Amino acid sequence: MRLKRKDLLGIEELEKSEIEQLLSTAESFKEVSAREIKKVPTLRGKTVINLFYEPSTRTRTSFEIAAKRMSADAVNISVSTSSVSKGETLKDTAKNLEAMRPDCIVVRHSSSGTPQMLSKYVSCSVVNAGDGAHEHPSQALLDMLTVKEKKGRIDGLKLSIIGDITHSRVARSNIYGFTKLGAEVTVCGPPTMIPPGMERLGCRVTTDMNEALRGADVIMMLRIQMERQKESLFPSVREYSRLYGLDDAKLKGAKDDVIILHPGPINRGVEISSEVADGPYSLILDQVTNGVAVRMAIFYMLLGGTREEAQLK
Amino acid sequence: MPWRDLVKTRAAMDGMAIERAIARIAHEILERNKGTDKLVLLGIPTRGYHLALRLQKKIEEIEKVTVPSGAVDATLYRDDLGIKKTQPSLKKMDIPISIDGKVIVMVDDVLYTGRTIRAAMNALMDFGRPLAIKLAVLVDRGHRELPIKADYIGKNIPTSAREGVKLHLEEVDGVNEVVVTEED
């Protein structure tokens, strides 16, 4: 059992069988986090560098905990305290980190394609922890794990992704992942937040929230990314919330056994109301728990095996 | 089964022989443990786990007591993880109760180099401090690479290192047998 690659850059290039392997491995890793001694010696002596050019609580902590529970050494670099603030280029940073012989670099960057570029400069594994509006593969994997766990399957389910589709790497990774596993994906948001050509990714497009909610087995709400709203894509937060925010009233139009996901951090009262976020349909905290297991699985699959082998790609 | 046409095999134990061995091991465990007190059966997946369930049933028939049983997966503790080309699949870890102060009988199908048992013991130690760990195997085929020996053995089958020993159980493979395959 192995991935057919040294890096995890996106869900797009993964084969269905690789996704299934990652998910079943992650299911097994959940047990480790439930133990009293939450540590296994599997990746002893491996070094993981978390290189984050964007702020993050959940993802960075989750990767760090995952590495540590596997006995790997995790080092965190946040840009504000690094030489990047002195003007070092990404390539130089990568080359210098590489010289310290890490086994894996986990990278988050606001520019799409950064992990791909980095993977060409370094011989160690590169894991994409979110690049611009491109992909966020570990988030999609943990979403798939959460749905699979709750619904018992992904094949044949209806998933609606609601919010700012244009800027969302979470949406893109999930569209690739869920459609590969046989789900029907609908994206929904204001017309200014849906890029043209989404249908080519194999999903339906609607601007009507009620239509997106009707018949959905899984609702995935996206965060309104205030930091990426350079041009105003909607007149006001209040109007957005009224049309596309999920609250109890809108939820009445959904199935009785619907489940609600959100990649976090949530803007309470904007894209999701507090009573829904904390309500019985919400799996937001299960997602976070599953995130650690998924990242342990990623490390297990990428960092095992001999180095030479991995470099053959 | 199609693989039989490819490699030469000889049957070493049939279904009846396996049943008798399990029955004898169940009696031996009860005799040496003086009953079922503190006893926990933990099988090494996949087939060791099913053997543990069979032992549990046999002990239940004899003593009318259901001994706790579960699975201990040694995969994450293996010593060849960075050496092999591919990563082994994770199996089931199921420790049903606290193992502190318990007599653990680990159950595996074939005892060979002893490396799996070493890994499984390390895994167990992360769950607590058992009073003792014992080892029951259906087949001991020799060629140990670590100082490990079984407490309960179904059958000793001398082999050459070029041969393979496989247990097939109805629960997994649809048939009960132990076969020795000649590999080259």
pLDDT digits (tens, 9 = 90+) for A31-58: 999 999 999 999 999 999 999 999 898 9
A35 contacts B127? CB cut-off 8 A: yes
Contact A40 B77 (CB under 8 A): yes
Q: Is A156 helix (H, G, I), strand (E, B) or coil?
A: coil
What average pLDDT does this structure show over A84-104? 90
Hey, which CATH number is domain B15-159, 3.40.190.10, 3.40.50.2020, 2.70.98.70, 3.30.1490.20?
3.40.50.2020
Residue with tokens 């407490």: B151
pLDDT at A310: 42
Helix/strand number for chain B, H first, E second:
5, 8
Q: Could you give the domains of chain A?
A: 16-135+291-312 (3.40.50.1370), 137-288 (3.40.50.1370)
Looking at residue A57, its pLDDT comes to 87
- Which contiguous run of DSSP H or E holds residue B110? strand B103-111
Please say if the pLDDT value at position B31 is more than 50: yes
Q: Above 80 in pLDDT, residue B85? A: no
pLDDT of residue A313: 33
Which residue of B lies nearest to A309 if distances are taken between CA atoms? B85
* Run of H or E residues at A204: strand A204-206
Does pLDDT of A85 surpass 90? Answer: no
Shortest Cα distance, chain B CAs vs residue A26, angstroms: 9
DSSP H/E element including B103:
strand B103-111
Q: pLDDT-derived band of residue A292, with 50, 70 and 90 as boundaries?
A: very high
Can you give the pLDDT at residue A81?
73
List the single residue in A with minimal CA-CA distance to B82.
Answer: A305
Tell which residue, A171, A181, A176, A180, has the closest CA to residue A201.
A176
If contacts are CB pairs under 8 Å, which of residues 60-79 in chain B contact chain A?
73, 76-77
How much is the CA Rg of chain B, to the nearest whole Å? 16
3-class secondary-structure state, position A207: coil
Q: Where are the domains of chain B?
A: 15-159
Contact B76 A32 (CB under 8 A): yes
